[in-house]
A = this chain, B = another copy of it.
Amino acid sequence: MAATPLLELNGINKGFGPVQVLHDVGLSVYPGEVTALVGDNGAGKSTLVKCISGIYQIDSGTVTFEGNPVSIHGPSDASSLGIEVVYQDLALCDNLDVVQNMFLGREKKRGIVLDEPTMEQMAGDALASLSVRTLKSLRQLVASLSGGQRQTVAIAKAVLWNSKVVILDEPTAALGVAQTAQVLELVRRLADNGLGVVLISHNMNDVFAVSDRIAALYLGRMAAQVKTTDVTHSQVVELITAGRSGNIGLPPEKPADFNGDAVDITPGGDK
């Protein structure tokens, strides 16, 4: 495995109004490796992903890509660097069909005219590789897809492109047994092809099955980033739920540190 990370975050802070969600978060993504990002509900995983892809502007901190400091101001910056993201809130256009969604923003053209046949064919191939069998038509509006079908479209959309880093935010949450297996296999294959992959998941079996490293977020702080082979299942669960496990994880917490996270921000919100 290469020693220099492909993508490196340092000291990332992010708050919404009076609420501080991420505190000094650091994360390294190595090429050819799957980094699992785990954490409790509301720990800040999706927020971190959106900071990386430029959907949110970070309050402070640095992002380094292939050794160079970069600043990402929007999703198009991220994708031009070669970072692809499958978001947890899938962000598909309900009024467009499957093919149209998959190529959104990167349509194939002949001259200025859209090359529909090519796109239809490529979309079909990508979906087929993800074990999609119940889709009635590639021209079906996304609005009418089942939960799992939507998720597959979002995943297929992200892996269509030659990118360097792929981030998947709970990609298998809505998937069936076979589809989940396909996606995990895909994740592994991407990493084996030299990409840096970040996989967010609550499923420890999946995490241990495909990841090389595990990064655990706890209440907006990076509790620990460890090699998967160095930890046990239950250690990771402890990191997720308590922020530390034995001698790994955050330093013993001073309770006051976290009080700030539990301020009721709208006292008497019903006036």
Contacts and interface: CB of A to CB of B under 8 A. Distances in A.
Interface stretch (A58-66, A135-143, A224-232): A135-143
A265 B138 CA distance: 9
Given A46-B147, A147-B88, A265-B139, A134 B176 contact: no
**How many copies of the chain does the oligomer comprise?**
2
B41 A134 contact: yes
Nearest to A133: B40
A176 B40 contact: yes
Contacts of A138: 264
A116 interface: yes
Nearest to A45: B146
A266 interface: yes
Nearest to A116: B270
Interface stretch (A70-78, A160-168, A177-185, A186-194): A177-185
A177 B204 contact: yes
Contacts of A35: none
A103 B183 CA distance: 38
Q: Which of A136, A144, A240, A263 has the most CB of B within 10 A?
A: A136
A202 B219 contact: no
Contact of A147 (B41, B146, B262, B266): B41
Interface in A64-108: 88-89, 97
Contacts of A237: 177
Interface string A251-263: 0000000000111
A149 B41 contact: yes
A22 B117 CA distance: 31
Nearest to A88: B147
Contacts of A173: 170, 173-174
A152 B241 CA distance: 17
Interface of A: 16, 19, 39-43, 45-47, 88-89, 97, 114, 116, 132-140, 144-149, 151-152, 170, 173-180, 202-204, 219, 237, 240-241, 261-266, 269-270
